[in-house]
Structure 1
Amino acid sequence: MTLSKKTQRIRKFLSYYAPYKGLLIADLFSSIFIAALALILPVCVRYITKDVLENGTENILATILQMGALMLAIIVVQTGFAMFFDYKGHDMGAKIERDMRMELFEHLQKLSFGFYDSQKTGQLMSRLTNDLLNLAELYHHGPENLVIYGTQFIGSLVILLHINLKLTLVICLFLPFMAIYSFVFYHRLQKAYARSRSRIADVNMQAEENLSGIRVVKSFANEELEIKKFSAENSYFYQSRANIYKNEALHFTVIEKFFTQLITVAIIVVGGIWIAGAALDVPDLLVFILYAAYLTSPVPKLAFMVQQYQDGLSGYRRFREIMDTIPEIRDAENALEIQITRGHVEFRNVTFRYNEEQDYVLRNVSLDVQAGETVAIVGSSGIGKSTLCSLIPRFYDVIEGEILIDGINVRDAALCPLRQQIGVVRQETFLFGGTVMENILYGRPGATADEAVEAAKKANAHEFVMELPNGYDTDIGQRGVKLSGGQQQRISIARVFLKNPPVLIFDEATSALDYNSEKAVMDSLRTLAKGRTLFIIAHRLSTVRSADRIVVLTKEGIAEQGTHEQLYALDSVYAKLYNTQDL
């Protein structure tokens, strides 16, 4: 990463403090006061032990009590500041976390299908949750730890130099060795934390995948297989954490238990020798030990600080990876607010592939679909039927050629208005957790309950909905698991009825249904298709016999097109497909 990019990233990192500048300043001032007040306490101890007790003064008892009252007041004020920055500092971190999570979620909504084709849901969830939680801790504790420990280190160093220069230099002899030792393990821990973060994302992914597909797991009695798969990911995560703990032990335990106590021993031994030689007095040695603790106290706390910085910065890098991903499909400059009045759809020499590593799915496909026409797209599996229709609402962009709706190139149309006027019913019906009413209203959030009920009636869904325990207020479970496949499809069709789009795409939506469910769905579809341009993608050719036109897609492109009777009479590709299914 170049210096300019690093600078930009740092500025962007700091920019999240901007809405809370006042809170940040108050938090930092509290930290400064806490550190400064802590430095005053040893001065009070020195005053009592040296100026009062050793040198003697009038009213010794009163003076000691006065100093005790002052020290108590300092502790009370220090506690007040600590309570403020502990509460408000965490609150600031939580607000930044909220803002960043919202920003990330909004950006995820903008990313194209191509992005999600190569991503794992569990890992994206980890970036939305764990990564940002660690970032919140960094945004809170990062600045205040630097201020507190920095103030204590510099302040205690200046005071120690004032008390005894030579003894301070004895302490300073140890600091380079501590710094070098910390530097070496810093880089080891950096890699270990990054590996651990990746592993926990894999654990989340495995768990999310298993829980989403738990019915498939149970239907195949593959619980043991899933346990083994999860156990493997869980073990990898444990190994990554064990590696962290090993490096933390080698780093922080040596720093805290060896170096810091070695410094204390050195102060006592050297100070004792100098006291014996009358070069130092006991009160100064006592105060020196207290301030030396402030000087070295940040080092043992590196265990917490480094982990926090590593977790936070690793999370921020992963956050930026998503935020820096530019949506492949986005509005062109001066994009048109398209208004589809007719629904005339034209493909002109369309060529497409998903990425450069894969073969072309479509090559030079041209197709002219008139307004209000019902066109069925048929062909063998994987030939590109769904892909062709996914290009209409720009879920993907063509590599070559163009797609026009009412004479307007879809690339020139604003995405939101374009997609609002195209209805899609997929084979994999997705219903959201909630009630039947909430799922139908998803088609047009501003619609009324009466309009939703009317849409359900047109979709042949009203009758079965009224038989549910609470009618339209019945909770259907996550992804609609409490409904049958046919019921789910009719709810999804009702959603499209409510949307009322001029162009419809019906993507193999009945392939997994039984005869009765399929008949109900197809009846709903015929009602929905009146006066609209309809694309039907189907494997069951019996469901598309009544289409105005059937288009047969092969690897070479469109092999033939016409009505069922025309194509069957040709006794070619379509006839062979139809006869195979009829058998």
Structure 2
Amino acid sequence: METFRKLKSFYWPYKHMFLWSLFFSLFVTGIIVVYPIILQYTIDEVFIGGKHSAVPYLALGFVGIMIIKGIATFFQQYLGDMFGIKSVYHLRNTLYEKLQYLPFRYYDNAKTGDLMSRLTADVEGFRFFLSFGISEFIRLILLITVSLSVMFYYSIELAMITIAALPFLAIVVYKFDKQVHPAFRGIRKSFGRLNTKVQENISGINTVKSLSREGFEISKFNTTNDDYKDKYLHTANVWAKFFPLMEFIGNLCVVALLAYGGNLVINGELNPGELVAFFSLVWYIIWPIANLGFVINLFSQSKASGERLLEVLEAEEEIKNAETPITTAKLEGNIEFEQVTLEYSDEDTAAIKNISFHAEKGRVIGLIGSTGSGKTSVTQLLTRFYDPAAGFVKIDGRDVKDYALHTLRKNIGVVLQESFLFSSTIKANIAYGKPGATMDEIIDAAKRANAHEFIMDLPDGYDTLLGERGMGLSGGQKQRIAIARAICINPSILILDDATSAVDMETEFKIQHALQEVMKDRTTIIIAHRISSLKHADEILVLEEGRIVERGLHNELLKNNGMYKRIYDIQYKDQKRILATQIG
């Protein structure tokens, strides 16, 4: 029960609903046990005893009992469902909130489809046990206990025969639980992998189709689906063996009761109605014990689900606010890196090693280097997506760890290489970081990003509704909206992570020209592969294998004949060749 103890805070506030549901459940159980007693009275007193005048009253009484049972069943199920629904509503909100604050390091290893499975299938599996499983378990135990008590009242000998079968039934249930829990945990994990495969395929459908890899993707999905099917078949095999075995033991018990009970009736030691009632009560014991297997099944599923949910809830939030964080509304934007080293995991080599540089307010720093050289890692330390393994990252002379995360990130505008837009209006996307932005501010940001003109050409202008991930816009258009979104928050520090990579050279020139005004009085870090994007920077840092191998102005670096000069020569020669081809 450790899993349920850890998740107690989510369902315990609604315990009153559970207790009322349990009350009505026990009330219904009491009515069920009355049925055999009525049956016994009808046979022995009415049919055999000749009290035929009692028939109408018995019929009316039976109808009344059924009506009461129906009303009680309604409240039992409704309150049970309310208990489960309200509990997982709180749980689902907490899980989603947790995912918002988990560090990038967590998402480096997490799979999107698996996380979606946890927030849907696993939460629902846990809910069903709360709504039905717990009260059903208590109801079955009570039904068995009350039935046995009535059986002892009718015949101690027959009750002892019934009890003799219970250990065998209990052993079967115990073995079933030992097999079914790991089986259902395997199913949950396999379902998460299946979700991940579907999510990855849909997200990358353009790549799949462009490379004609549909058959390969189908084969990979079939393999994952086969694993899911095999795990479900294994569980079905465990389940299929359980009920026949329970029924076999139950029938043996019935045969023994029939033989011994029939002899008691013949000898006059037991009335026929009591034997019939006894047989009804036997199945009130055997089938509840069998149904305990079903409840154990639910428990195993919910336990497996709960364990997967706890993996998210208990994941460490490495990036946290200080005890008394600085909440200054506006930062100046002075940046300083002091002997900074970053390691993404204990097994990885350092992404950046012993980096130091200083950027005063209003300066432009350019970062260039080969793929994997550590350019983006520098900016991820500045926004505290990761914390350094060694050294200090400072803004305005204070360690970034001293600032409240909200304050820090509200003062840093980031435009990533792969722009992400939400399924909303263009206006809402631009104002995403500043929900209270006025229309004038939104339009101003769009103009500075050279996006206003194409937005106004769209059917609904700024109210144009975008498809998923910005479907309906070109890569360059999406990138310019992302730039406008970063500008709209009026940040002290602006990070452009290869922000013009998706636009043509003419649009890049227009954006850079517009950004010259935007970058005034704010510190800017430009990550680029094109030298044309950063040659006007106040300082250019050339990175290789996580180290700064060159630094200086554009013209100074060209004179060094180092790595920067080699990159420049390659790009310049490519441009000359393209120009010569166009002229020719």
TM-score (norm 2): 0.95
**Contact preservation (8 Å) 1:486, 1:521:** no
Aligned with residue 365 of structure 1, among 344, 355, 359: 355
Compute the displacement of 1:555 (Å): 3.3
Q: Distance in 1 between matches of 2:177 and 2:514?
A: 64
| Aligned residue number for residue 120 of structure 2 | 129
Mapping of residues 395-544 of structure 1, within 5 Å: 395-544=385-534
Deviates more, 1:571-580 or 1:313-322: 571-580
Residue 46 of structure 1 pairs with residue 36 of structure 2: no
Compute the displacement of 1:64 (Å): 2.1
SS of aligned partner of 2:7: helix
Residue 225 of structure 1 pairs with residue 216 of structure 2: yes
Change (3 A) 1:533 1:311: same
Aligned with residue 15 of structure 1, among 6, 9, 13: 9
**Contact preservation (8 Å) 2:187, 2:232:** yes
| Aligned residue number for residue 69 of structure 2 | 78
Give the percent of matched residue pairs that are identical in Structure 1 and Structure 2. Answer: 35
| Aligned residue number for residue 189 of structure 2 | 198
Aligned with residue 154 of structure 1, among 134, 141, 145: 145
* Counterpart amino acid of residue 151 in structure 1: L
**Contact preservation (8 Å) 2:4, 2:306:** no
| Aligned residue number for residue 366 of structure 2 | 376
1:536-582 deviation line (CA, Å, top 9, x unaligned): 01111122111111111223722222111111122222212211222
Q: Distance in 2 between matches of 1:396 and 1:17?
A: 34
Compute the displacement of 1:358 (Å): 0.7
**Contact preservation (8 Å) 1:486, 1:518:** no
**Contact preservation (8 Å) 2:425, 2:463:** yes
* Counterpart amino acid of residue 398 in structure 1: P
Residue 31 of structure 1 pairs with residue 37 of structure 2: no
Q: Distance in 1 between matches of 2:10 and 2:171?
A: 33
Change (3 A) 1:121 1:392: same
Deviates more, 1:512-521 or 1:526-535: 512-521
| Aligned residue number for residue 352 of structure 1 | 342
Aligned with residue 295 of structure 1, among 280, 285, 290: 285
**Contact preservation (8 Å) 1:17, 1:24:** no
**Contact preservation (8 Å) 2:335, 2:396:** yes
| Aligned residue number for residue 3 of structure 1 | none
Change (3 A) 1:14 1:50: farther
Q: Distance in 1 between matches of 2:510 and 2:213?
A: 34
Deviates more, 1:448-457 or 1:205-214: 448-457
* Counterpart amino acid of residue 142 in structure 2: T
Q: Distance in 2 between matches of 1:453 and 1:186?
A: 63
Mapping of residues 153-172 of structure 1, within 5 Å: 153-172=144-163
| Aligned residue number for residue 386 of structure 1 | 376
What is the total number of aligned residue pairs between the two structures? 573
TM-score (norm 1): 0.95
Mapping of residues 296-335 of structure 1, within 5 Å: 296-335=286-325
* Counterpart amino acid of residue 485 in structure 1: G
Aligned with residue 111 of structure 1, among 102, 107, 111: 102
**Contact preservation (8 Å) 1:489, 1:521:** no
| Aligned residue number for residue 572 of structure 1 | 562
Compute the displacement of 1:38 (Å): 0.9
Q: Distance in 2 between matches of 1:112 and 1:16?
A: 24
Mapping of residues 153-302 of structure 1, within 5 Å: 153-255=144-246, 257-302=247-292
Change (3 A) 1:562 1:339: farther
Compute the displacement of 1:288 (Å): 0.2
**Contact preservation (8 Å) 2:17, 2:82:** no
Change (3 A) 1:516 1:253: farther
SS of aligned partner of 1:428: coil
Change (3 A) 1:134 1:552: same
Q: Distance in 2 between matches of 1:504 and 1:55?
A: 96
Structure 1's consecutive aligned runs of 4 or more residues displaced over 6 angstroms after TM superposition are none
**Contact preservation (8 Å) 2:483, 2:499:** no
**Contact preservation (8 Å) 1:493, 1:524:** no
1:518-540 deviation line (CA, Å, top 9, x unaligned): 23433343332122100001111
Compute the displacement of 1:171 (Å): 1.1
Q: Distance in 1 between matches of 2:254 and 2:86?
A: 42
Compute the displacement of 1:339 (Å): 4.3
Change (3 A) 1:171 1:512: same
Change (3 A) 1:369 1:143: same
**Contact preservation (8 Å) 1:459, 1:521:** yes
* Counterpart amino acid of residue 76 in structure 1: I
Q: Which residues of structure 2 form unaligned runs of 5+? A: 574-584
Compute the displacement of 1:481 (Å): 1.8
Q: Distance in 2 between matches of 1:313 and 1:534?
A: 50
Compute the displacement of 1:21 (Å): 2.7
Q: Distance in 1 between matches of 2:177 and 2:299?
A: 11
Compute the displacement of 1:340 (Å): 4.2
Q: Distance in 2 between matches of 1:331 and 1:484?
A: 38
Residue 560 of structure 1 pairs with residue 554 of structure 2: no
Deviates more, 1:127-136 or 1:305-314: 305-314
**Contact preservation (8 Å) 1:27, 1:144:** yes
Q: Distance in 1 between matches of 2:493 and 2:545?
A: 26
SS of aligned partner of 2:353: strand
SS of aligned partner of 2:372: coil
**Contact preservation (8 Å) 1:427, 1:508:** yes
1:192-219 deviation line (CA, Å, top 9, x unaligned): 1111111111100000000111111111
Deviates more, 1:567-576 or 1:371-380: 567-576
**Contact preservation (8 Å) 1:459, 1:494:** yes
**Contact preservation (8 Å) 1:46, 1:283:** yes
Change (3 A) 1:202 1:555: closer
SS of aligned partner of 2:288: coil
SS of aligned partner of 1:297: helix
**Contact preservation (8 Å) 2:352, 2:374:** yes
Compute the displacement of 1:510 (Å): 2.0
Q: Distance in 1 between matches of 2:331 and 2:200?
A: 42
